[in-house]
Amino acid sequence: MAAPSLLNWRRVSSFTGPVPRARHGHRAVAIRELMIIFGGGNEGIADELHVYNTATNQWFLPAVRGDIPPGCAAHGFVCDGTRILVFGGMVEYGRYSNELYELQASRWLWKKVKPHPPSSGLPPCPRLGHSFSLYGNKCYLFGGLANESEDSNNNVPRYLNDFYELELQHGSGVVGWSIPVTKGVVPSPRESHTAVIYCKKDSGSPKMYVFGGMCGARLDDLWQLDLETMSWSKPETKGTVPLPRSLHTASVIGNKMYIFGGWVPYKGENAETSPHDSEWRCTSSFSYLNLDTTEWTTLVSDSQEDKKNSRPRPRAGHCAVAVGTRLYFWSGRDGYKKALNSQVCCKDLWYLDTEKPPAPSQVQLIKATTNSFHVKWDEVSTVEGYLLQLSTDLPYQTASSDSSAAPNLQGVRMDPHRQGSNNIIPNSISDTVNSAKTEQTAMKETSVKNKPDFKALTDSNAILYPSLASNASNHNSCVVDMLRKNEGPHSSANVGVLSSCLDVRTVIPETSVSSTVSSTQIMVTQQTIKTESSSTNGAVVKDETSLTTFSTKSEVDEYALPATKISRVETHATTTPFFKETPSNPVATMKGGERQWCDVGIFKNNTALVSQFYLLPKGKQSISKVGNADVPDYSLLKKQDLVPGTGYRFRVAAINGCGIGPFSKISEFKTCIPGFPGAPSAVRISKNVEGIHLSWEPPTSPSGNILEYSAYLAIRTSQIQDNPNQLVFMRIYCGLKTSCIVTAGQLANAHIDYTSRPAIVFRISAKNEKGYGPATQVRWLQGNNKKAPLN
């Protein structure tokens, strides 16, 4: 049986934007975080295209253009990248379609396409209730319901079990239909069934699984088609098979096919009624089939009542979409008996996390001061928060208050969609930390109402549980932060890091984080800087840090280079852990050598300003437990401030409706000591005849006179091949000017870093009377070019 946490349904209680009217017979697909819905019917067939952004909780109506298709219901609807295909469906009562339309969602452009007919046989006839499944560059059409009568007012149904293959062209357009020759017994004719395609990882051929449907009576049979051998079979299953049904949904996440809702037979008190004469009702039952073992597991049975409205009520003709490991369900026809001859469509939107979230990336350092860290980590999709923890070798005392209050996190209703609220847990402090993040995607030809886009809008981070972080300045615009890393000819310790990503070529800011450098000391010679382990204290930055902010479009334009010289620049955080296998203070370890971890707090977004942490309750070895998701009442715990010149280890775990996921790998950062210069800022790269021109702005916190700057280039060496995280740098400039030329000869020796997007890595640092301060790291994006960086 599945874990009970799997049934932790969430109802999205509030929306922004124009919410589509309730309906049934519609279809939906997902493109990244967007759920795109088309068609369906309720007092007429809908012809609008609606989009729901699962990240921003916003509905919007794209301004579509081109060959806009008529409204349809019970149609085929598949997604190939950002291209969507629509086939068939009912366009009005008794009149069905066999037309094919393509939507380029990046431009919201519709196009009617005309595939070539099969070399032998006829193309698919008009139909509804068919399955239309995509794998690779082919769509597979099976079954459906046709109208034998040419008179749409005289509907004579004919159930189908024909099978077609539609070959697609790359990017846009189709080739044509074909009728594959299949082996084995073909499934019986049916409509309103489901079909999914699944292929085992690293082995096996893709297989299409057909379940249920309607053919005078509801069906509960499972069929398998091997798409390589084109052989039909009826696999043997274990477990309890769901009741016969039609108009249900089937969604694949991992190796599981989730079946929800639909129409199921209902005999009432007359047990002798034949299946063809039986009434029907909707169901809210929920099961999954393990596609590797073909074993059914019932998560919600038909007999389970829901008196607390804690899950979707019974429905059929709804839509289901998988976004990551989260399932979204919207609308559909409510349950009723055939004899009542009435229908009500559901208006609700629900989601369900099917498994705990994966571990986030390592914590990255945005900025270090003498008594705080601004940290971030890569976002994990479809999560409700992040648990951040730290550990230190510095002696500290446990809290004297022995708190036994530890509410179970799985029992808490975390509603990230609730408007105007940052808290999800009682007794929490609603401090707000700036997100230092804006994500945008350019769609030059896209015209959409309500400002939709394929990227989530800026969302300032909020501490879901009380944070130890004090408020940071709130940036509503993109903050281009520079990586701060203490390295230079006369320093040996690493301090802060400030992360961001700037794509100058397209002038589209977005955030990103590069891989971790597993080193802590920078040893400098005339030619190279090599990273080696060390725990030596060294140069630091002051509390003030260098930030370049874009608050208006004109400022972005001012920053942009001329079009003929623009290059892609990405400033990233490269954390510099202070790895110590054996802690120097026994207070920081538990019995058996396991490290003690203290909670910083639970945060809504992927950034946090950390100045304190919660002390362990007296007699407890840890605060939060991943296994059973116990979380204490933070208001009853004491807090401890961060200390200057001290190393702290960090880890983070994501939280969703299934609980707390695994923790990330450990990162370690050191708080600063005053006196050293800050990092250079506002780095620009442009091409010229000699190579490239690299320029920067002085530190905003020089802490005295700047004596010189040094610029470094990551170069190819055998050491990097053995350990990609161990970068080797060559100094390419030393002087007072805030710019330099990097020659084509120097760039020919550059290392291309593939830890995220391919890039050449530069570092720039400033020196004052006390020594070199932290460096700004810049990743010059190279696209997919593995050769000449100037091409």
At 128, list the tokens.
Answer: 């509804």
Q: Are 302 and 243 in contact (CB under 8 A)?
A: yes
Q: For residue 600, tell me if it sits in a domain.
A: yes
Residue 82: per-residue pLDDT: 96
User: Are 609 and 709 within one domain?
Assistant: no
User: Are 213 and 328 within one domain?
Assistant: yes
Question: How far separated are the first and last CA of the chain, in Å rounded?
Answer: 56
Q: What is the CATH number of the domain that holds 201?
A: 2.120.10.80
278: left (phi over 0), alpha (psi -120 to 50) or beta: beta
> Where do we find the tokens 């390592």?
362
Q: Are 18 and 29 in contact (CB under 8 A)?
A: no
Q: Give the angle subtended at the CA of 321 by the CAs of 228 and 234, to the nearest 5°.
A: 35
CB atoms closer than 10 angstroms to residue 204:
12
Q: Are 486 and 777 in contact (CB under 8 A)?
A: no
Residue 618: per-residue pLDDT: 65
Q: For residue 625, tell me if it sits in a domain.
A: no
Determine the Cα–Cα distance for residues 266 and 279; give it in Å rounded to an integer. Answer: 5
Q: For residue 417, tell me if it sits in a domain.
A: no
Low-confidence ranges of the chain (pLDDT < 50): 1-5, 269-275, 277, 337-340, 398-587, 589, 591-592, 626-629, 786, 788
User: Are 155 and 294 within one domain?
Assistant: yes
Q: From residue 586, give the alpha-carbon distance in Å to each of 396, 600, 616.
A: 11, 21, 15
- 211: nearest Cα among 193, 237, 198: 193
Q: For residue 457, tell me if it sits in a domain.
A: no
Q: Are 517 and 533 in contact (CB under 8 A)?
A: no
- 687: nearest Cα among 755, 743, 759: 743
Q: From residue 701, give the alpha-carbon distance in Å to each of 182, 677, 704, 711.
A: 73, 6, 8, 19
At 455, list the tokens.
Answer: 């990227």
- 762: nearest Cα among 532, 485, 534, 541: 485
pLDDT tens digits for range 463-511: 343 333 333 332 222 222 223 333 333 332 333 333 223 222 222 222 2
Residue 602: per-residue pLDDT: 93
Residue 664's domain spans which residues? 356-393+596-616+637-673
Residue 176: per-residue pLDDT: 97
Q: Which residues are within 8 A (CB) of 669 and not within 5 positions of it... i.e. 6 or more apart?
A: 365, 368, 373, 375, 494, 495, 496, 497, 575, 576, 577, 578, 647, 648, 650
The β-bridge partners of 145 are: 128, 159
> Where do we find the tokens 């291309």?
752
Residue 580: per-residue pLDDT: 32
Determine the Cα–Cα distance for residues 646 and 537; give it in Å rounded to an integer. Answer: 9
- 734: nearest Cα among 706, 692, 770: 706
Residue 456: per-residue pLDDT: 30
Give the chain's length: 791
Strand-strand pairing, 639-641 and 315-316:
unpaired
User: Are 222 and 311 within one domain?
Assistant: yes
User: Are 32 and 144 within one domain?
Assistant: yes
* DSSP per-residue codes, 240-293: PPPPPBBS-EEEEETTEEEEE--EEEE-TT-TT--TTT-EEEEB--EEEEETTT
pLDDT tens digits for range 521-533: 222 222 222 222 2
Total number of domains constituting the chain: 3
- Amino acid identity of 106? S
DSSP reduced 3-state for 553: helix
User: Are 652 and 718 within one domain?
Assistant: no
Determine the Cα–Cα distance for residues 537 and 535; give it in Å rounded to an integer. Answer: 6
Q: How much is the pTM? A: 0.69
- Sheet (strand 207-214) strand order: 194-198, 207-214, 218-226, 231-233
User: Are 656 and 730 within one domain?
Assistant: no
- Given 353, 368, 384, which residue is the final one in a domain? 353
Residue 519: per-residue pLDDT: 26
Residue 342: per-residue pLDDT: 58
Q: From residue 207, give the alpha-carbon distance in Å to each of 178, 186, 199, 212, 237.
A: 18, 15, 6, 17, 16
At 222, list the tokens.
Answer: 């499972």
CB atoms closer than 10 angstroms to residue 596:
19
- Amino acid identity of 317? G
- 47: nearest Cα among 55, 37, 35: 37
User: Are 189 and 128 within one domain?
Assistant: yes
User: Are 46 and 133 within one domain?
Assistant: yes
DSSP reduced 3-state for 171: coil
pLDDT tens digits for range 609-635: 999 999 877 666 556 654 444 566 788
| Residue 719 DSSP symbol | H
Q: For residue 555, tell me if it sits in a domain.
A: no
Q: For residue 215, tell me if it sits in a domain.
A: yes
Q: For residue 258, tell me if it sits in a domain.
A: yes
- Given 337, 353, 369, which residue is the final one in a domain? 353
Q: For residue 253, tell me if it sits in a domain.
A: yes
User: Are 88 and 156 within one domain?
Assistant: yes
Q: What is the CATH number of the domain that holds 379?
A: 2.60.40.10
User: Are 297 and 388 within one domain?
Assistant: no
Q: Give the angle subtended at the CA of 327 by the CAs of 72 and 281, to the nearest 5°.
A: 60
Q: Give the angle subtended at the CA of 494 by the CAs of 490 and 497, to the nearest 5°.
A: 125
User: Are 89 and 221 within one domain?
Assistant: yes
The β-bridge partners of 214 are: 191, 218
